[in-house]
Amino acid sequence: MQIEQNNRIENWLFFLEDPGAVTFSYLLLEKFSTIGINIILIADGLAKKILDAKKISYLPFQEYHLRFDFFKLNEIKVFLTGTSENKSSPAFSLMQTARDLKISTIGLVDGAGSHNERFKGQTDSPLFWAPDWLIVPDLTTQKLYVQLGFPVEKIKILVHPHYEWIKSIAKNWTINNRQQQRDSLMPKAGNRKVILFLSEISDGLNSSLYKRSEDYSLLGKSEHEGRTEIVLDEFLLGINQLSPRPYLVLRLHPKQFKSDLEEYISFFDLISQEENPLEIVNSSDVVVGITSSLLVEAYYLGKPVLSIIPNPNEKLYLGDLSDIIPSLYTRELISEGLNNSINEERINDINGQNPQFLNNQCLDFFKTLKQL
Identify the DSSP state of 273: S
Cβ neighbours, 10 Å, residue 347? 8
Give pLDDT, residue 325: 94
pTM of the full predicted structure?
A: 0.82
Q: Taking residues 59-81, what's their average pLDDT?
A: 94
Q: Taking residues 178-199, what's their average pLDDT?
A: 96
Q: Which domains does the chain have, with CATH numbers?
A: 10-159+354-371 (3.40.50.2000), 163-341 (3.40.50.2000)
Q: Which residues pair with 156 in a beta bridge?
A: 135
Give pLDDT, residue 304: 94
Question: What is the pLDDT of the chain when averaged over all its residues?
Answer: 89
Give pLDDT, residue 295: 96
- Per-residue pLDDT for 10 more than 80? yes
Q: Taking residues 235-244, what's their average pLDDT?
A: 95
Dmax over CA atoms of the chain, in Å, equals: 67
- Per-residue pLDDT for 339 more than 80? yes
Closest C-alpha among 159, 135, 162 to residue 23? 162
Mean pLDDT lowest for which of 154-158, 257-261, 280-284, 342-346? 342-346
Report residue 342's pLDDT band, with 50, 70 and 90 as the boundaries. confident
Q: Taking residues 251-260, what's their average pLDDT?
A: 91
- Asked if residue 199 lies in contact with residue 252, where contact means CB atoms within 8 angstroms, the answer is yes
Q: Is 64 exposed, middle or buried (0-12, 13-18, 19+ CB in 10 A)?
A: exposed
Identify the DSSP state of 138: S
- Asked if residue 225 lies in contact with residue 214, where contact means CB atoms within 8 angstroms, the answer is no
Give pLDDT, residue 2: 52
Q: Taking residues 233-249, what's their average pLDDT?
A: 96
CB under 8 Å to 150, separation ≥6 — which residues?
127, 130, 134
Residue 69: half-sphere exposure toward Cβ, Cα within 13 Å: 4
Closest C-alpha among 121, 131, 128, 156 to residue 24? 156
Give pLDDT, residue 22: 94
- Per-residue pLDDT for 134 more than 80? yes
Give the integer Cα–Cα distance in Å for 282 and 287.
9
Q: How many residues does the chain have?
A: 372
What percent of the chain shows pLDDT beyond 70? 90
Identify the DSSP state of 360: H
CB under 8 Å to 6, separation ≥6 — which residues?
38
Give the integer Cα–Cα distance in Å for 329 and 307.
9
- Asked if residue 189 lies in contact with residue 284, where contact means CB atoms within 8 angstroms, the answer is no
Strand-pair category, 133-136 with 327-328: unpaired
What burial letters (b/e) apply to 270-293, b meaning 16+ CB within 10 Å? bebeebebbbbbbbbbbbbbbbbb
Q: Taking residues 137-162, what's their average pLDDT?
A: 92
Instruction: Return the SS3 of 250.
Output: strand
Give pLDDT, residue 307: 97
Residue 12: half-sphere exposure toward Cβ, Cα within 13 Å: 22
* pLDDT digits 0-9 by tens, 17-57: 999 899 999 988 888 888 899 999 999 999 999 999 999 99
Give the integer Cα–Cα distance in Å for 221 and 233.
7
What percent of the chain shows pLDDT beyond 90? 71
- Asked if residue 82 lies in contact with residue 135, where contact means CB atoms within 8 angstroms, the answer is no
Amino acid (1-letter code) at residue 129: W
Mean pLDDT lowest for which of 117-131, 196-210, 258-272? 196-210
Give pLDDT, residue 355: 47
Cβ neighbours, 10 Å, residue 34? 11
**Higher pLDDT, residue 281 or 158:** 281
Give pLDDT, residue 360: 63
Report residue 164's pLDDT band, with 50, 70 and 90 as the boundaries. confident
- Per-residue pLDDT for 116 more than 50? yes
Cβ neighbours, 10 Å, residue 76? 20
Instruction: Return the SS3 of 365.
Output: helix
Give the integer Cα–Cα distance in Å for 335 and 202.
23
Q: What is the DSSP string of 308-337?
A: E-SSGGGGGGGGGGTTTS-EE-SHHHHHHH
